[in-house]
Amino acid sequence: MSETAKHVVAAPPGAQAGHSATSTKLAVGAIGIVFGDIGTSPLYAFRETFAGTANVAIDRMHVLGVVSLIFWSMLLVVAIQYVTILMRADNKGQGGSLALVALLSRHMGKSSYGWLVILLGVFATSLFYGDSMITPAISVLSAVEGLTVVDAGLQQYVIPIALGLLVFLFMLQARGTAKVGALFAPVMIVWFLVLALLGGWQIMQNPDILWALNPYYAVMFFVTDGFVAFLALGAVVLAVTGSEALYSDMGHFGRGPMRLSWFGFVMPCLLLNYFGQGAMIAGLPAEEAAVVVQNPFFLLASEEWRLPLVFLATVATFIASQAVISGAFSITHQAVQMGFMPRLSILHTSETEGGQIYIPFVNWALMVAVIILVLTFQSSSNLASAYGIAVTGAVTIDTLLMAVLLVGVWKWKWWYAAPVVILFLIVDGAYFAANLTKVPDGGWFPLLVGAITFTLLTTWARGRKLMRERMGEVALPMEIFAKSAKNSATRVPGTAIFMASAKGGVPSALLHNIKHNKVLHERVVILTVEIAEIPYVDPEKRCEYHDLGDGFFRGVLHYGFMEETNVPEGLKKMDRCGGEFDMMQTSFFLSRQTLLPSDKPGMPIWREKIFAWMLRNSATAMEFFRLPTNRVVELGSQVRI
């Protein structure tokens, strides 16, 4: 771990704003941005429990059992595990699997099982990409399918309308979401209020559904039906999709406002709607209930209000999809900064909000995947089979990481930690196991995406480590080079900055410059950018420099894994490194490595080829570090790994 982790950490942009904004305002903002995924689950979660593969019987006992399962799942998984416990595990304000891994790594140091924690976090992140592909597809499809409730003849238009909306959504990303985001909170507040009103009205018609608050009915569901109830868990878990997203988005609004939003508004509205759907089904004759359960959400409203409800649901799912796409950008940015992904072109879409970014490669890859999903699966019911496994896999991994957190970081006694961890492992493991039965019906997709992503992330991290080791083996100490070079090359006016991945040794670009150009600038700076295991580094601790004498300096710019690595901006703080940097008198020298086959490869040849492909297609350091395009010189070198 670098010494950067010891620096005083500045609050993230969202947190800084939070000092002047009230918790209520932040809580309202969170409703619009964070809760879209879990907030649109009533469109399909209750329906899939009865109309899906479990084929649950439609009668009072089973309706009470299913609603009870939904209630206790939401209470245990979302309210207790994530909102109450895991939201306390923030890495300087940030949440999510990678932030949790960074937090655990910082506390565990070089422990024998540290590598396993990292692999678990990387796999949870890999599963998130499968989730971020399925969420827009299933959410928008389920909303547009409401048109068939209004008029069955509109079925043929569902796929084209859904595809049009999804393509428009991805086209919108390059423009930024600041203006659209201003409308998110009001729309989602209206959406949750409508959920509550529709559900509350049905509960008033059939208050008997409130017996489902008693866990007895959930238990009796399993006692009576056994394997059918187990299969039903695969659909019930759809009611808690988005719980991982709540944790990942914690840094935007803070723990307190998000808890206020969840307990004070979102959770009550969702439960009212689920109980309302159950009340409506339980109050119908068996034949009519079998028809209504095919799309119960839209039938909560009277006929004249169904078309407006379809429009509102479509807008709500559009917002939910936007939140997931933004989350994919954010998690990719973290992965790049933490060394699990190659450099990608990252564009900032707002001059004031650092967190609003756009990554073209991720955007278009998601769009292609979503279009393929819609065309392949054709309906939200078919997609539901693929949806749950990514979510439950990530939740189960988070539970394992939580066990390490409780014992290794919070220092709980094992007899306190064990019952908590075992409880959640049983609950989350049951959901995951139930979803494994859906692998042949579509569950293979997120597992395939997760496996491919995991392979790419770990291959890049391993290859990058090997490449640095090989370069370090042949590196010449900078102090020796500075003494020998001062009299062997002509000094020319200006400043040369040589970007280096390591803090020791002479960059290959500097050696090649001496070899071919036989000149040195008056001021030579070896500059390294270090990414800390914390989200934000105190700006006062951004710069570190060492005077090596004879016009040679070694500089280090420290950034958190949530920050933009803007080198020219960082150099403004490094004015003591031989004086201020005038960009018109400064040249940046970069090394671009080409991999060669090795007699003793450090990893299998197929992984080496993948790493070489990723290296060739990564964004240049010039783009990534925001270097002025007309002041950059690239010099190639060859490395064997």
Sign of the torsion angle spanned by Cα atoms 44, 436, 80, 410 = negative
Q: What is the pLDDT of residue 61?
A: 87
CATH hierarchy code of domain 27-461: 1.20.1740.10
How large is the angle between the packed helices 267-282 and 60-73, nearest 10 degrees?
A: 170
pLDDT at 12: 41
Q: What is the pLDDT of residue 180?
A: 57
Question: What's the pLDDT tens digit per position in 121-141?
Answer: 888 888 888 888 888 888 888
Separation between Cα atoms, residue 571 and residue 210, nearest integer Å? 63
Coil, strand or helix: which one is 420?
helix
Q: Give the C-alpha separation, 390 to 426, whole Å.
A: 17
Handedness of CA 337, 340, 346, 352 (dihedral sign): negative
Assign 3-state DSSP to the chain and report helix, strand, coil percentages, each to 5.
70, 10, 20
As a whole number of angstroms, the distance between CA 506 and CA 498 comes to: 9
Q: What is the pLDDT of residue 579?
A: 75
CA distances from 590 to 93, 459, 593, 634 (A): 34, 23, 10, 5
Task: Assign 67 to helix, strand or coil.
Answer: helix
Instruction: Give the pLDDT confidence of 407-451 residue by residue, as tens digits.
Output: 877 888 888 888 888 998 998 888 888 888 888 888 888 888 889
**Residue ranges in the chain modelled with pLDDT below 70:** 1-21, 52-54, 92-93, 108-112, 176-182, 251-252, 348-356, 473-475, 486-487, 576-578, 597-600, 637-641
For residue 639, the cross-strand partners are 595
Neighbours of 470 (CB within 10 A): 17
DSSP letters of 164-233? HHHHHHHHHGGG-SHHHHHHHHHHHHHHHHHHHHHHHHHHHH-GGGGGGGSHHHHHHHHHHHTHHHHHHH
Residue 455 confidence (pLDDT): 92
Residue 72: predicted pLDDT: 93
Locate CATH 1.20.1740.10 in the chain. Answer: 27-461
Taking Cα atoms as reference points, which of 381, 336, 31, 397 lies closest to residue 234?
381
CA-nearest of 262, 253, 267 to 23 is: 253
- Enumerate the H helices of 338-443 as residue ranges: 360-377, 380-404, 414-436
Measured on CA atoms in the order 320, 323, 329, 335, is the torsion positive or negative? negative
Whether 309 and 146 have beta carbons less than 8 Å apart is answered as yes
